[in-house]
């Protein structure tokens, strides 16, 4: 039986656009992430006159359960105080300064 949820196209292939629009992101995704403590309200780069018009990622909470292999692909590397993450970077000879 094929999954007919919104996550798949009509032919059964997964969709790439999980977040369909900017309004969906603002009304559904960001409030949940803020409640979980993954982001906090902060000053936006494009509108600096408003103090709480943007968001800032809280890396130690947002990446708490993320695999070190995935974290190593980010540019720039997230600065986390996780020993498994630092050990993975050492094993892969990926330079880091934290």
**What pLDDT does 9 receive?**
63
pLDDT digits (tens, 9 = 90+) for 23-57: 999 999 999 999 999 999 999 888 889 888 889 99
Q: Comparing 4 with 86, which gets the higher pLDDT?
A: 86
Tell me, yes or no, whether 5 and 45 share the same domain.
Answer: yes
Tell me, yes or no, whether 47 and 91 share the same domain.
Answer: no
* Number of domains observed in the structure of the chain: 2
Give me the residue label for tokens 């709480």. Answer: 52
Tell me, yes or no, whether 9 and 48 share the same domain.
Answer: yes
Kindly report whether the global pTM for this prediction surpasses the value 0.75.
Answer: no
Tell me, yes or no, whether 89 and 72 share the same domain.
Answer: yes
Tell me, yes or no, whether 29 and 74 share the same domain.
Answer: no
pLDDT reading at 3 higher than 50: no
Q: What is the extent of the structural domain holding 68?
A: 64-98
What average pLDDT does the segment 70-78 reach?
Answer: 92
Report how far residue 34's alpha carbon sits from residue 17's, in angstroms, rounded to the nearest whole number.
22
Tell me, yes or no, whether 53 and 83 share the same domain.
Answer: no
| Phi then psi dihedrals of residue 4, to 5 deg | -105, 20
**What pLDDT does 14 receive?**
67
């Amino acid at each position: 039986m094929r999954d007919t949820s919104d996550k798949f196209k009509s032919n059964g292939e997964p969709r790439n656009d999980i977040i369909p629009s900017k309004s969906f992101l603002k009304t559904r995704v960001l409030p949940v992430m803020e409640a979980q403590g993954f982001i906090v309200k902060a000053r936006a780069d494009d509108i600096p006159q408003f103090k709480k018009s943007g968001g800032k990622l809280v890396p130690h909470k947002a990446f708490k359960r993320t695999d070190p292999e995935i974290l190593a692909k980010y540019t720039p590397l997230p600065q986390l105080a996780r020993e498994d993450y630092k050990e993975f970077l050492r094993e892969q000879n990926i330079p880091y300064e934290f």
